[in-house]
Structure 1
Amino acid sequence: MTNIHRGEIAAEIGGEVRTLCLTLGALAELEARLGGGDLAGLTERFGEGRISARDLTAILGAGLRGGGNALSDDELARMSVEGGLRGAAEIAVRLLRATFGEPA
């Protein structure tokens, strides 16, 4: 069961409902992987809607690992996501909002 107060969400990925959470470790992974510099840089980048397919894979992969799922980004990239690309983007938005709150 997910706990939104801890920044967790649930999403169907690879035919299973999985928990995603951007823990501190997952956020550090995103900073390193995406070269955002820091959390403010990542927040600004994502807030402007500048998200590539590579970004989606990194966000969802980090969130899955933060939620206790032992999946690599390569494994994730081969999985189906409910709703396809649009569904993946919606999951990423839900995860980012659960982590950082609603945009001002």
Structure 2
Amino acid sequence: MANPWRGDVALVIDGETYVLRLTLGALAELEASLGAGSLMALVQRFEGNSFSSADVLALLKAGLRGGRAGVSEETLFHGEIEGGPLAAARAAAELLARAFMVPSV
């Protein structure tokens, strides 16, 4: 079960629910995968609704690793995400938001 107090976000891929989390290690991997970009630039892209599908996939991949979900890149790229691309983008945005703020009660 996803715990928002820990920064967890749930995502259903191929009918199975996974818990994603951006740990410090996952954030570092995400930052490295962005190359010259920064996490703040990524936050700004999401806040301005100018993110790319590559941004969404990078966030989901980092969140799956941080949550120790054990999902392969192949499954993430080709699996059926419940709710489609919109749900994937929503989960990525929630991951990013929860990594940098405390959930309200």
Q: TM-score, normalised by structure 2?
A: 0.82
Q: Are 2:30 and 2:62, in contact at CA under 8 Å, matched by a contact in 1?
A: yes
Q: Pick closer, same or farther for the CA change 1:53–1:67 going to 2, 3 Å.
A: same
For residues 22-101 of structure 1, what are the structure 2 equivalents within 5 Å? 22-35=22-35, 37-101=37-101
Give the C-alpha shift of residue 8 in structure 1. Answer: 0.8
Q: 1:66 to 1:52 in 2, by over 3 A?
A: same
Provide the C-alpha distance between the structure 2 equivalents of 1:54 and 1:39, rounded to a whole number of angstroms: 14
Pairwise CA distance, 1:62: 0.7
Deviations 1:80-101, CA, capped at 9 Å, x for gaps: 1111111111111222222123
Query: Alpha-carbon deviation of 1:41?
Result: 3.0
Give the number of equivalent residue pairs: 102
User: 41-50 vs 24-33, which deviates more?
Assistant: 41-50
Of 12-21 and 46-55, more deviation after overlay is shown by 46-55
| CA distance in 2: counterparts of 1:4 and 1:15, whole angstroms | 21
What's the secondary structure of 1:19's corresponding residue? strand
Q: Aligned partners of 2:48, 2:36: CA distance in 1, in Å?
A: 13
Look up the equivalent residue of 2:94 and give its one-letter code. Answer: R
Identity %: 47
Equivalent residue of 1:68, what SS?
Answer: coil
* Distance (whole Å) between structure 1 residues aligned to residue 38 and residue 62 of structure 2: 16
Kept after mapping to 2: 8 A contact 1:57/1:73: no
- Alpha carbons 1:58, 1:73 under 8 Å: kept: no
Secondary structure at 2:68's aligned position in 1? coil
